Structure 1
């Protein structure tokens, strides 16, 4: 099993200077650029989309 994924950039300012938060708990990160703290949480897997008869998942009709 590999290590857990880390965010590549701050969702607020886009900077890449992120550090794990020592006070925020599991999944918490701090941006050194904009000084914001945020958390990343895995919610689960989505179910596979069902394919209707005809084989197209496109809801767009012409």
Structure 2
């Protein structure tokens, strides 16, 4: 099994100076804009009904 993927840039300002932050897994801090956010994998989604009809 491979390591968990990490984000490459801040979703707010686009800067690449991000680091893990906080006590819980998935919390990140941007060094440029100082925002802190949580990254969480939810899962795979099912195709919507519109996409199934288009096939």
TM-score scaled to structure 2, two decimals?
0.79
How many residue pairs get aligned? The number is 53
Q: CA RMSD in A?
A: 1.7
- Structure 1 or 2, whichever has the larger Rg, is 1
Give every structure 1 segment of 4 or more consecutive aligned residues whose post-TM-superposition deviation is greater than 6 Å. Answer: none
- Bigger share in helix: 2
TM score, norm. by length of structure 1: 0.71
Unaligned runs of 5+ in 2: none
Which residues of structure 1 form unaligned runs of 5+? 58-62
